[in-house]
Amino acid sequence: MAIPKLLFQVSFPIVVSMFIQSMYNLVDSYYIGKINEEAFTAISIAFPIQNIMIGMAVGTGVGMNSLISRYLGEKNFEKSNRVAETGLSLAIIYGIILLIISRFLPRPFLSAQTTNENIINYGVDYLQIVMGLSMGVFMQIFLERLLQSTGRSIFTMLTQLIGAILNIILDPIFIFGYFGLPAMGVKGAAIATVMGQIIGALFGCFFEYKFNEEITIKKPVLDLDIVKRIYVVGVPSMITITIQSFTIYVLNKMLSAISTSAIAALGAYFKIQSFVFMPVFGVNNGLVPIVAYNYGAKNKERIVKSIKLAFLAVTGMMIIVSAIIIIFPRELLSIFSASGKMLEIGIPMLRICALSYIFAGISIVGVAVFQAFGNGILALFDSILRQIIVLLPVAYIAIKFFTVNEIWWGYVIAEFASILFVIYFMNTFVRKN
């Protein structure tokens, strides 16, 4: 198939499904913001833990996806099935581990970032549920990646669509107590989230069994050699997201010295970012199996065409997104019932951070190409450069010597440094392979 048509066909359903996925993240935040700002601040502080959970699932999925696509390109169907069976075992193991640690981790984690007891209690209620019932999200992402690795992105979209719509419907019912149910507040938002993930996983299981003919899963298997191969690619991706979570944790601690409204504003930024980056991640996830397949098939020309087209697409998207955020920051923050103090901090924050998005799209696609080639180490180095070497030092200097507004310029500087890194290694790596 022609590359533009193929990239569109694989990516478009993923773009739609990821928009939907981020929509129910926004809907959660919208309704929780209506409880009060303390509740919204609590889920903002809890975000790094959720992010690490998603990072574990996505990192495993990225490694599995890349490996399966490569084996399919080589027509090695026995190996691709073995990878899928090992991925299933890993999803089950992670769900069990998080169920155990959900009993004792949330409170000390939250207490390390704030002394506000109401915020801590809200956060504990939320995290204990989303961590304890995380089997749903691990299974959902595992099944989505299987479908995606064989080009069945439409079923990935349907899996996420079903889970997201259910979450959106259940959020106000559980949070505010409609149809005779008790008002559960933040707990209700967490229950709606995990229910959406579990139902999405069940539909993903159906689609995999019924329509994914290239992959057959007979039983969970833990093949240690395949685990190693998955995490050669996946661990750097997991560490990358863990670094992001660590960065948010440190920034929250820095901002707590200013006010809880500053933490809430940062939380709103990440909610908006998770939404506006969805088109880029959609192209990104569509690009990985195309590049990995053609890498296995040793078709360099199609690899280069795919990368160039992805760069053009995401750059156009990010220019449009940046313009919207710069023009309408107040309206975007109002989604979260922002207080006057949160608006005072958040409006300049969004306008400054929006400038970084133009660079960020290209960096994200570059990292996807490294992963598709089976080299996640470069993706890890890029994350360390952006968040540890550049962003955190700039934020520390800004808080120490300037005002809160200067913190956000760290994002612009970090993304510019990242794009230089990605372009340099992209040229080197593509020529070499």
pLDDT of residue 301: 73
**For residue 11, what pLDDT is reported?**
64
How confident is the model over 249-266, as pLDDT tens digits? 888 888 877 777 888 888
State how far the alpha carbon of 59 is from the alpha carbons of 196, 220, 240, 322, 417, in Å: 21, 19, 9, 28, 24
Short-list 184, 166, 256, 241, CA closest to 39:
184
- pLDDT > 70 fraction of the chain, expressed in percent and rounded: 88
Tens-place pLDDT, residues 16-64: 666 666 676 677 778 888 888 888 888 888 888 888 888 788 788 878 8
Q: What is the pTM of this model?
A: 0.76
Give the pLDDT band of residue 96 (cuts 50, 70, 90).
Answer: very high
pLDDT of residue 237: 67
Measure the CA angle with vertex 57, ends 167 and 197; round to 5°: 15
Q: pLDDT tens for residues 311-346?
A: 788 888 888 888 888 998 888 888 887 778 888 888
The pLDDT of residue 290 is 75
Report pLDDT digits (tens) over 149-184: 776 767 877 887 888 888 888 988 998 888 878 888
Q: Percentage of the chain with pLDDT > 90?
A: 6
pLDDT in the model for residue 129: 92
For the chain, the first-to-last Cα distance in angstroms comes to 22
Residue 13's pLDDT band (cuts 50, 70, 90) = low
Q: Tell me which residue range forms the domain holding 250.
A: 3-432
Q: How many domains does the chain have?
A: 1
Question: In the prediction, which pLDDT does 174 show?
Answer: 92
Q: Which residues contact 292 (CB under 8 A, 6 or more apart)?
A: 65, 66, 69, 70, 73, 372, 373, 374
